[in-house]
Amino acid sequence: MRALVLVCSLKKSPAPSSSELLGREILAALADHDVDGEVIRVVDHDVKYGVTADEGSGDAWPSIRTKLLGSDILVIATPIWMGQPASVCKVVLERLDAEISESTMYGKVAVVGVVGNEDGAHHVTAEVYQALNDVGFTVPAAGGTYWVGEAMGKVDYADAGPKPDTTGTATKTLAANAAHLAKLLNDSPYPSS
Amino acid sequence: MRALVLVCSLKKSPAPSSSELLGREILAALADHDVDGEVIRVVDHDVKYGVTADEGSGDAWPSIRTKLLGSDILVIATPIWMGQPASVCKVVLERLDAEISESTMYGKVAVVGVVGNEDGAHHVTAEVYQALNDVGFTVPAAGGTYWVGEAMGKVDYADAGPKPDTTGTATKTLAANAAHLAKLLNDSPYPSS
Amino acid sequence: MRALVLVCSLKKSPAPSSSELLGREILAALADHDVDGEVIRVVDHDVKYGVTADEGSGDAWPSIRTKLLGSDILVIATPIWMGQPASVCKVVLERLDAEISESTMYGKVAVVGVVGNEDGAHHVTAEVYQALNDVGFTVPAAGGTYWVGEAMGKVDYADAGPKPDTTGTATKTLAANAAHLAKLLNDSPYPSS
Amino acid sequence: MRALVLVCSLKKSPAPSSSELLGREILAALADHDVDGEVIRVVDHDVKYGVTADEGSGDAWPSIRTKLLGSDILVIATPIWMGQPASVCKVVLERLDAEISESTMYGKVAVVGVVGNEDGAHHVTAEVYQALNDVGFTVPAAGGTYWVGEAMGKVDYADAGPKPDTTGTATKTLAANAAHLAKLLNDSPYPSS
C-alpha cells in the first residue's frame, strides 16, 4: 500500500520544519505495516488557490492529485498558527473540495499529524477530519498524532527532543490503525463507491 | 448489527425534537443494511456531569454505556445552538472521555446527524468527529448528515418538509457506509484493540 | 464596576478546580482596576438545560442572570475537555441565547479564562467569544487568558506552580483592558442599545 | 475614521465575489457613521505565506499592512469553504500574527462578514474573532454579519437577492457598533497600548 504525506509548513525547503519531521515519523511508522510512500512539502510547489481539480496554467496541484489518486492513505502534517490549521493546509482542503461530487477519494484513509509551539492540536485535527470526511476519506480510530508545548511556549517539536511515550506512541497507534483500515477498504470497497 | 442513537435535544420527551427526527431517520436508513437499534433521548435520563464511566448514585450514564458497549455503531443526533454542539452533546462526549484509556470503543463506528434553524452543521460535525475519534471510534466516509435553514431562519427541520434530495440522500449514504465499515471492523478488529 | 465570574468546572464545590483558581485570579487582577465582583461555580446550582431566561420550577439560572444584569463584565472560566469547552460552559452560553432578542447584554464586556492539562485553549476561547458576541457582549483586546500543559500532559493548573510570566501576564493585560473598555461603554453606550 | 476591508475570495478580480459584495455593503453601512475606507481583494496581490510583517522580495503584505496601520477598523470579508474560513483569510490572520509582540493593532476594532452557499458562518466568525483578538483587536457587540443558504444549497449571496431583514439588519448593527467603539478607543486608548 501507498501513503502520501502532504506537509503544510509555511516555509519552503530546505528550511527546517517540525511538521515535516512529524510527517516523516508517521511515514516511518507506516513502513512497519508494509506501507511505503512519499513526502511532499506543499509550498515547494505552486499550488494555486481554488476549489477545482485543476486551476490552469502553472498549477502544481494536478500532479500532487495524481499521486494522491495512486495512494491508499493521505497524511496531512500541519503546523498550528494562532490555534488553527495553517493556511497551506486550508489550501489543500479546498483543492480537495472538487472531489466531493466525483467520489474519487472514497475508500481512502486519512490521518493527521499536528505540531505547534503551544496549543491548538485538537482543533486542527477536528477541522481536517471534517473537511476530509466530507470529501470521502475514512478516519481510523485514533487517527491523529500531535505535539505542542506548554501554554505560550516557544519551542518547536524539532527542538523539543524525542517524545516516545506521548507523541511517539500516538504515531505508532495511528499507523497501525490506518494501515489496517486501508487494507480492509482496499479489499472491500464501500458499496457507494 | 446494532446501533445506538443518542439524541442530544435540550428538551425532554414528549416535546417534539428535530434532532430526534433525524436520529430516527438515520436508524431507519441503517435498517436497510440489517442494522437494528434503539433511540435514547439523553435528557430523559439523569446523566451526570463528569469524565468517568460512573459518576455515582443516581447517574443514568452507566446503563446507557452498557447499551453502547453492546452496539457496533454510535449515532450522535444533536441540535445546533449558537453555531455549536448542544451542551447535552458535550455531556455525552465528556462521559465517553473515560473510555480512552480502556480502549472499550475501539472498533466501533460513529456517525453524526445535526439539525438547526440555521448554520453550524459542519462545525458541530467537526467537534463530534474529533472527540469520538480520540476515544477510538472510526468515522466512515461521509459520516455526517444534516439540515439547516437559510441564515437567521427560524424553521425547524421537523417543520421544513421532506428533504429527500439533500439531507435524505446524505442520510442514506451515511447509513450504507457506516454499516459496511462496522461489518468490516467486526470481522477484522484493529490490531491494537 | 462589577464583574461576575462563572466557573464552568464539572465538579461541585468543595472539589478543587483549576478553572475556579484562574477565575479568582482574573477577579483579583480586576480589583486593581476598581472592579469588584463575585465567583459562582455553576454546577453548585441547578441550572436547567434550555435557551430561555427562565426554564421554570427549580431553575437556578434566573438568580444568576439577575447578578449578570447587575454586572459590567462577564468572566467565563472554563476547563477544556477533549480540546473543547466544558459542557457546563455550553449550558451557560445556551441560557444566554435568550438575550439576543432582548439586547439585555449590550454594552457589557466579556472575557475568558481557560485551563486544561493539555491543548485546546485557543479553540475554547474562539467558541466563547463568538457565542457571547452574538448575544451582545464586547470583547476587549487580548480578552483571553489560559494555561495548558505540554501535549498529553496530566498536570492541572492548580498543581503546575505559579506562571507569572505567561498566564499571569495575560491575566493582568486582560483585566486592564476589560476594565478600561467597560468604563468606556458605561459612559458611552452603543447607539443600538 | 478609516476602515480597511480585506476581501478573502479565492478568485482574482474581476471575477464576481459574494464576499466582496458583503465587504462593500459593510463599508457602505460604515459610511453612515462617518467612516470611509478602501476594499482590497487580497488575491489580487502577491501576499506571501508567513508569520512576519515582511516576507521579503515581492511580498505585497507590507503595503497592505501600511494601510491597516492607518485604519481604525479592520473588516474581514471571507467566503466559507467546507464550513471553514477560506485559506486566503488564514493567510491574512497568519500575517497579522507578527503584530502580537508589537502591540501595533491595539485599539483597532475588527468586524467580520461571511458568505457561503450553505453553513459555516458562525464557525468562521469564531475563528476570525479569536485570531484577531489575540493580536490586539477589539470586537464590538454583534461584530459579525453573514449570509448562507439552506443546507447543501448552491446559490451565492450575490445571486440570492437582497436580504434587508436578516443580513442587511446585521450589517447595519455591526457598522453602528464598530464606528461607536472605534471612536471611543481612538479618544481613550487602552492603558497597555
Instruction: Quote the ipTM score.
Output: 0.97
Provide, rounded to the nearest whole percent, the portion of chain C with pLDDT above 70.
Answer: 99
Rounded to an integer, what distance in angstroms lies between the CA atom of residue D145 and that of residue D21? 12
Provide the 10 A C-beta neighbour count for residue B75.
Answer: 29
**What does DSSP assign to residue C165?**
T
**Contact C192/D at CB under 8 A:** yes
CB contact under 8 A, A130 and B126: yes
- Across chain D, mean pLDDT equals 97
CA gap C175, C180 in Å, rounded:
8
DSSP codes joined into one string, chain D: -EEEEEE--SS-TTS--HHHHHHHHHHHHHHTTT-EEEEEEGGGS-PPSSSSS--STT--HHHHHHHHHT-SEEEEEEEEETTEE-HHHHHHHHHHGGGTTTTTTTT-EEEEEEEEEES-HHHHHHHHHHHHHHHT-BB-TT-EEEEEESTT----GGGS---TTTHHHHHHHHHHHHHHHHHHHHHS--TT-
Residue B116 · residue D148 · CB < 8 Å: no
Q: Answer whether A10 sits within 8 Å of D82, measured CB to CB.
A: no
A63 neighbors D55 (Cβ within 8 angstroms): no
Q: Give the angle B130-B132-B133 at the CA atoms, nearest 5°.
A: 65
The closest of C173, C187, C74, C182 to C131, measured between CA atoms, is C74
State how far the Cα of C133 lies from the Cα of C71, in Å rounded to an integer: 16
Buried b (16+ CB within 10 A) or exposed e, D80-104: bbbbbbbbbbbbbbbbbbbbeeebb
| pLDDT score for C51 | 97
Question: Band of the pLDDT at D192, cuts 50, 70, 90?
Answer: low
* Per-residue model confidence as pLDDT tens digits over C55-90: 999 999 999 999 999 999 999 999 999 999 999 999
- C130 in contact with chain D, both atoms CB, cutoff 8 A: yes
Q: Quick check: B167 and D151 CB within 8 A?
A: yes
Residue type, A192: S
Q: Inter-chain contact C84–B127, Cβ cutoff 8 Å?
A: yes
CB contact under 8 A, A94 and D85: no
Q: How many residues does chain A have?
A: 193
For residue C192, is pLDDT > 80? no
Q: Supply the angle between the helices B167-187 and A167-187 in degrees, to the nearest 10.
A: 100
Chain A: give the shortest CA distance to residue D46, in Å.
Answer: 12
Q: Is B4 within 8 Å of B24 (Cβ atoms)?
A: no
Spatial CB neighbours of B175, under 8 Å, sequence gap ≥ 6? B26, B29, B30, B32, B33, B35
Average pLDDT estimate for D123-151: 98
Rounded Cα distance between A105 and A109, Å, is: 9
pLDDT band with cut points at 50, 70 and 90 for residue A79: very high
Residue B103: what pLDDT? Answer: 86
Do D190 and C184 count as a contact with CB atoms less than 8 A apart?
A: no
What chain B residue is nearest to D155 in terms of C-alpha separation? Answer: B150
CA distances from C95 to A74, A102, D69, D115 (A): 41, 42, 39, 27
pLDDT-above-90 percentage for chain A:
96
* C142 in reach of chain D (CB within 8 A): yes
DSSP state string for C70-107 = T-SEEEEEEEEETTEE-HHHHHHHHHHGGGTTTTTTTT
Asked whether the beta carbons of C151 and A166 are under 8 A apart, the reply is yes
C-alpha cell at B23: 436520529
Q: What is the mean pLDDT of residues D165-188?
A: 97
- Fold of the domain built from segment(s) C2-187: Rossmann fold (3.40.50)
Q: Neighbouring chains of B at 3+ CB pairs within 8 Å?
A: A, C, D
Confidence grade of residue B102 (pLDDT, cut at 50, 70, 90): confident
**What is the distance in angstroms between the Cα of D33 and the nearest Cα belonging to chain C?**
11
CA B31 to chain centre: 16
Say if residue D101's pLDDT is above 90.
no
Considering the entire predicted model, what is its pTM? 0.98
B132 touches chain C (CB under 8 A): no
From chain C, the residues in CB contact with D125 under 8 A are 130, 133
The C-alpha atoms of residue C150 and residue C119 are separated, in whole angstroms, by 7
Confidence band for D143, pLDDT divided at 50, 70 and 90: very high
Residue A63 pLDDT > 70: yes
Residue ranges per structural domain of chain D: 2-187
Q: Are strands D73-81 and D84-85 parallel, antiparallel or unpaired?
A: antiparallel
Q: Please give the distance of CA A40 from its chain centroid, rounded to a whole number.
A: 10
Q: Is C47 helix (H, G, I), strand (E, B) or coil?
A: coil
Task: Measure the CA–CA gap between C58 and C46, rounded to whole angstroms.
Answer: 7
**Which of these, A110, A113, A104, A145, lies nearest to A131 by C-alpha position?**
A110
With an 8 Å Cβ cutoff, are B119 and D146 in contact? yes
Cα B91 to Cα B42: distance, rounded to the nearest angstrom: 9
- Residue A43's pLDDT is 98
Strands (E), chain B: 2-7, 36-41, 73-81, 84-85, 109-118, 144-149
CB neighbourhood size of D161 (10 A): 8
Candidates A59, A87, A128: best to mutate against D (most CBs of D within 10 A) is A87
pLDDT band, residue B101 (cuts 50/70/90): confident
**CA atoms of C124 and C80, how far apart (whole Å):** 7
CATH superfamily, domain at A2-186: Flavodoxin domain (3.40.50.360)
